[in-house]
Structure 1
Amino acid sequence: MLIGYARTSTLDQKAGLEAQKRDLSAAGCERIFEEEVSSVDVAKRERLVEALSFARSGDTLIVTKLDRLARSVAHLVELLAQLEAKGVSLRIMAMGIDTSTPTGKLMLTILGGVAEFEREIMLERQREGIAKAKAAGRYKGRAPTAQAKADDVLRLHREGVGGTEIAKRLGIGRASVYRILNGSEDAGKGAAAPAPVNSSAQ
């Protein structure tokens, strides 16, 4: 079964949606799902979700242009994975892509590579941004999880709880517990303060 999906943004002319429906009907679509929603409101594409749910193995989902379906290459690859899992093909009329053909499958592989490339570029830019911020003294990063729980470690130690049990209760490593105890500025300030701990204990 051929299933059509047509989308227009809230800023587009209504004629754009009618043109898509006309082209999809001419392509032989027996069922057409249509909606008016912007490209960024992916979570609100209820009719697309219905189309994906409606499609069965052997069916083909057809759109007139790529931007009517996906907001990015990565999003397209995600949708293609969903369709492939159901045994449903995708046809993009303007690009001449049909994943039911060997050429279409090759295009899918290429698109997957492009999506991975986009992700690597994004991560590289993120790393460069962090490096520049560190060099300028503006990057603090996240506080170490164990150090954030230092007060709890010291409190439990004063209550007589052993290092292994402290680590288990707070969800941190034993080595982190001993580092906090041995590095505590409270050591030697009074009887209630924790004494240095040997990590080989417990």
Structure 2
Amino acid sequence: MDVIPGVSKGSDRPKWSKLNSILKSGDEVVSYRLDRFGRSAVDVISNIKDLMKRDIKVSILSPKMSFDKEDYFSQFLLTLFSGLSEMERNITKERQKAGIAARREAKKKHPELLLSRRPLSYAVRKNCYGLYLSGLSVFEIRQQVKKNHDLPKKPGRQTVYDIINEFKLTEKQKEDVLNNLH
């Protein structure tokens, strides 16, 4: 289905709209997970019930289940698992926010965390910053650095951001950070 982050309506999801428009009575929609049918329990239930009204069968691979408008037990499971999917999504977003906040707080207390986590040579780090100054996106910087320095894999997104922040520090701040490392 779609990989549009955040809560969205079906009309904001072009691939879902396209799929929905070509489905006809007697078709079957197979999805790996139930949460692919919407971003909230209400969306999931609404979208699947709409498909069932149009006599379109819905099958989920993980956990293995299918939904039929005649089967009341599968409709109960739809409601239950939709709620669980939404709860899981909310917990994941909550943990992500907490992790980001913890990293920001740690960087304030320990400026050495501003330095790149991945040990890259000064030349590679300087090249990253130069590419940043030339206006390339972080995605493009990662690709270019891998190619320029024949690295086995692209540096991580956070590594590139850390390098950019490292070079933004003044010389005095850099000296303080490096002295605190020893």
Q: Give the TM-score, by structure 1 length.
A: 0.35
Q: Which has the higher helix share?
A: 2
Q: Give the TM-score, by structure 2 length.
A: 0.38
